[in-house]
A and B are shown apart, each in its own frame.
Chain A
Amino acid sequence: MLSLLTDHSLLMALAALLSLGAIFGGLLGFAAVRFKVEGNPISEQINALLPQTQCGQCGYPGCRPYSEAIAEGDAINKCPPGGEETIQALADLLDVEPQPLDAEHGVEKEPVVAWIREDECIGCTKCIQACPVDAILGAAKVMHTVIADECTGCDLCLDPCPVDCIDLIPRKQGIGFWHWPLPGDGAARFDIIASDNATRDAA
């Protein structure tokens, strides 16, 4: 057998290639089983960029389904809560052209939280069932309230409320949320004072 191979170089080459193919095929097969990735890694990365409002404005029931749809090739501009920033981040990740927000799905608004007017709440628990992140506390026939830190402002609790006692109020209110605007973004009074050049030149 061995002598047959050594005598015929063509057979020798064939055998070598075949055995190499078998070895690497085996390795690849092993790797495919051993290092199998659960889920879709691209859609995971997309989901990490989405704002997790779970509002469904994109037409999908939550951020994960939309991230899976984007991974399948859906448009990246259907998320109003994320706005331009999210579209830019998605465009960078997927290496596609950023598009303006699709107005069909809504417009970018400032972040809000739900606020239950507690005097008017009748305790029907309908909003509790609608909340995608379990941010509403309460029980049947007693007042409900929103855990403001957990609320995503998705507005899904507004429709089920039979007495319309839920408002959406701006989340970032007051001095604690303020930060300096970029020059030009705000009024002139934000100008810093550091440039003292006239005095320096005179001195």
Chain B
Amino acid sequence: MRVIHDIHGGIHPPERKELSRPGVLDQVALPPLLVLPLRQHLGAPAQPIVSLGDRVLAGEKLAEPQGLVSVPIHAPTSGTVRAIELRPIAHASGLEDLCIVLEPDGEDRWVTLSGAGDWRQCDPADLLDLVRGAGIAGMGGAGFPTAVKLNPGPSRQIETLLINGTECEPYISADDTLMQCRADALIEGAQILAHIVGASHILIGIEDNKPAAIARVTDAASRIDTAIEIASFPTKYPSGGEKQIIEILTGQQVPSGGIPADIGLVCVNPGTVVAVREAIIEGKPLTHRIVTLTGEALARPGNVIACLGTPIHFLLEQAGIAAEPQQRIIHGGPMMGFAVSDLNAPITKITNCLLAPTQTELPLPEPAKPCIRCGHCAEACPASLLPQQLYWYARAKDQEQLTEHRLFDCIECGACAYVCPSQIPLVQYYRAAKGQIRDSEQERRRSDNSRDRFEARQARLETELAAREAKRAARKAAATDRANAGGADPIQAAIDRAKARKADQETSP
């Protein structure tokens, strides 16, 4: 039996997971339009390779990745490209971003898919290319390109593949449903991933509030691969943070600023594992995902498998939304999610949950009151930070102190804001401060670059000027030399030549 460690802090908010009936996976109708943002992941947006009016098949690539940290986008169904334009997307800013708009033809004709065959015989590098080509980005919420994560470089030896089935955020049950409904695929995907990263051990961690998922996965593992270890651990938010689950299951801490691969681990979400399996076995790109539709404002909450690009309002209508005035729709969970400002925005690779709470269920936060320095936030922080200090420094925009107090180790879980008796939106302070620090760093790099270029230009201008001066001096010296060498004075010579020419002209006609 694995020793289960505890993490610092954490909270126990009401789970509310039964609301979305974990374990039941519903189909959802095809919407009249699919909106596929080019940026559904962390990193550079993809570059469209289709044009207006193109007819595409399901699974056809619509956009190519730009650079290493980027993923392609594929068509979830067959249809016609109707627009490539700015559209509202599900983003905390409420800004628009470039999207490919696809009108489904309803036939759902697929391109011919071909898997990798026997993956055990394949070179991990080739499988990695397939993962990259399938457009897979971390499906737990952050959307980091999976192929990059699976390739931490030759200097880092991976021993353990950790599958993070924690899903600790209240309300969300997408991973729970996936583990229950597709346990065999999860186990097979885990074997493939372990082959790709060269891990000798596979560990699946599931919080103990999901007994059905634990039973299904254990059963599947006992039938397919008995070497796979399944560990369950007590429910606490935010145990599902990457660094948190690693500490819970191994007792080791990922170094500050480091990645799990530094201590020989790769940690992936179950959704990502199943997506990798489909890419390798069936050759199928990532075009659908499981989304939890929940909240008391919905008549039929549940988990659905939906096309990427399905507009949020379409899904909510399918779930029977009875919208209140000023209904808030939250993308993600109640702790880390954000309110969506435009319901025409589509779901993307990172949309694990859409939450439509009633006012009584999840009231709007009250105005923040002054900090009373109670210290509850420091007790709740799972990263052992000092949220109160960070709060003051964020208000003072003291970037040096913020970095010193390890702002970038904050996982933005919201535990501090949850326990704050003054209802201070602490996480927003940290998010804003992180943004400002990243901005300043970028500006500093820019200005360093400009300084170099300015100085290089000054140096070039000086050398050019010096070269011109030198040339002029040389010409002058040559002229003086000729004059001194007894030759005629050049000016006098020119006058003589002119006179001779004039005389010539006067005599010749």
Contact = CB atoms under 8 A, between A and B. Distances in A.
A and B associate: yes
B13 A200 contact: yes
B425 A53 contact: no
A116 to B, nearest CB: 18
- What range describes how many residues of A lie at the interface? 35 or more
A203 interface: yes
A52 B456 CA distance: 13
Given A52-B451, A192-B414, A198-B363, A179 B438 contact: yes
A203 B15 CA distance: 11
A178 B436 CA distance: 10
A183 B432 CA distance: 8
B93 A47 contact: no
A53 B420 CA distance: 43
Nearest to A81: B447
Interface in B320-356: 328, 330, 334-339, 341
A178 B420 contact: no
Contact of B95 (A63, A175, A193): A175
A190 B92 contact: yes
Most B CB contacts (10 A, CB to CB) among A178, A183, A198, A203 go to A183
- What range describes how many residues of B lie at the interface? 35 or more
B453 A150 contact: yes
Contacts of B364: 191
Contacts of B5: none
A54 interface: yes
Given A183-B428, A197-B423, A51 B363 contact: no
A179 B337 contact: no
Interface in A147-196: 150, 152, 174-176, 178-183, 185, 189-196
A53 B149 CA distance: 38
B454 A180 contact: no
B418 A195 contact: yes
Nearest to B95: A175
B225 interface: no
Contacts of B425: 183, 191-192, 194-195
A50 interface: yes
A5 interface: no
A52 B427 CA distance: 33
Contacts of B360: 198
B192 to A, nearest CB: 33
Interface stretch (A9-17, A18-26, A127-135, A138-146): A127-135
Contacts of B417: 192, 194-195
Contacts of B448: 52
A123 interface: no
Contacts of A150: 449-450, 453
Contacts of A135: 453
A175 B368 CA distance: 28
Interface of A: 47, 50-54, 62-64, 132-135, 150, 152, 174-176, 178-183, 185, 189-200, 203
Given A52-B447, A63-B454, A182-B428, 4 more contacts: A52-B448, A179-B439, A192-B427, A193-B338
Interface of B: 13-14, 39, 45, 89, 91-97, 170, 328, 330, 334-339, 341, 360-366, 368, 394-395, 414-415, 417-418, 420, 423-425, 427-429, 431-436, 438-439, 443, 446-451, 453-458
30 contacts: A47-B451, A52-B450, A62-B454, A63-B454, A132-B454, A134-B457, A150-B453, A152-B446, A152-B450, A174-B95, A175-B89, A179-B431, A180-B432, A180-B435, A182-B395, A182-B428, A182-B429, A183-B429, A192-B365, A192-B425, A193-B330, A193-B335, A193-B337, A193-B339, A193-B362, A193-B365, A194-B414, A195-B417, A196-B334, A199-B361
